[in-house]
Amino acid sequence: MGSLGVFSFLFFSNSFRQYFIPPLLFESLGDSFMKREGMRDAVILGILILVAAVAIISSTPSANVIRGAVLPQEKTVQLSVGDFVPFTSGDSFTWNGAGSQAGKILTVHVVSVVATGPGATAFKAKFNLLDSTGAILDTQTVLPGNVIHFEDSIGKSIISGNLFLKSATVDVSTNEGKVSIGIPQGKALLESGGSLLLNGKGSFAGQPVRAKLISIVATGPVATSFQAKFNLVTTSGILIDTQTVNEGTLLLFEDSFGNEVVDEYLWVDSIKLFP
């Protein structure tokens, strides 16, 4: 029974009016006014309606009231962390399958590196993906600076993680193709203010450096995609570089001369708002 129903029942109950609305209350306000049954009932009804209204209002959730356990919204960046590994044409390495090849160990074979033009100043690399029997599942020819996307016949990815082709060259003395591939080996999840300790490179070789997530901002009026801003600092807090990146890109830190200063492979898997 709702609050108003309860009070209506009580109002029409003689015992309630007799014992819970004392006659002296009305007599004190003047016999000629309050002893009239109709006026007495009207006053009682007015009191009950007022009480019922208060009860109903207090039981109605306010738009400004948060009920229950509410988790704070956190903007979070997930990174794939690994190494840049050199390979020569003819080399192979194993990798985990995904999608239609989930649960299988596959083989990535570096087939060749060829020039993209007559000047032999830029190169592309060809890769085969093989199953356990040696059958070719997919072939991809990739320019440096891109992910090696191995796919099935309907265009779905069939390897886990992102293998990133950083560079492709040809050793003129041996005519061998050389590639450097970013291979993820783990995941890191950072919230704003979080940081990741990394190995320095180049002018910071042999020194630990720290990548710190400074902020995450929406890239449009509707907060469905974001950019993440990172600072790279020394362990004593000296700023080396600042980079702002999108989801699905390489995170690469450089010194003031444009030289790389981090030895690890960092790939931005996702930038999201949780929960």
Under the banding of pLDDT at 50, 70 and 90, the label for residue 235 is very high
Question: What's the rounded Cα separation, in Å, for the pair 118 and 133?
Answer: 37
Q: What pLDDT score was predicted for residue 67?
A: 29
Enter the pTM of the model: 0.69
Question: What's the rounded Cα separation, in Å, for the pair 162 and 248?
Answer: 9
Q: What pLDDT score was predicted for residue 160?
A: 95
Phi-psi region of 256 (alpha: psi -120 to 50; beta: other; left: phi over 0): alpha
Q: How many CB atoms lie within 10 A of CB 62?
A: 9
pLDDT tens, residue by residue, 139-178: 999 999 999 999 999 999 999 999 999 999 999 899 999 9
pLDDT tens, residue by residue, 113-135: 999 988 788 999 999 999 999 99
Please name the residues in contact with 262: beta carbons below 8 A apart, sequence gap of 6 or more.
Answer: 198, 199, 200, 201, 209, 211, 232, 252, 253
Phi-psi region of 35 (alpha: psi -120 to 50; beta: other; left: phi over 0): alpha
- Residue 247 pLDDT more than 80? yes
Nearest to 7 by CA among 42, 50, 41, 39: 50
pLDDT tens, residue by residue, 14-31: 444 444 445 444 444 445
pLDDT tens, residue by residue, 181-215: 999 999 999 998 999 999 999 999 999 999 999 99
Domain ranges of the chain: 3-59, 74-274
pLDDT tens, residue by residue, 49-69: 555 554 444 443 333 323 233
Q: What pLDDT score was predicted for residue 65?
A: 29
Residue 259 one-letter amino acid: N
- Residue 70 pLDDT more than 50? no
Tokens 């000629």 belong to residue: 32
Q: What pLDDT score was predicted for residue 196?
A: 96
Strands laid side by side in the 92-96 sheet: 92-96, 105-115, 123-130, 136-142
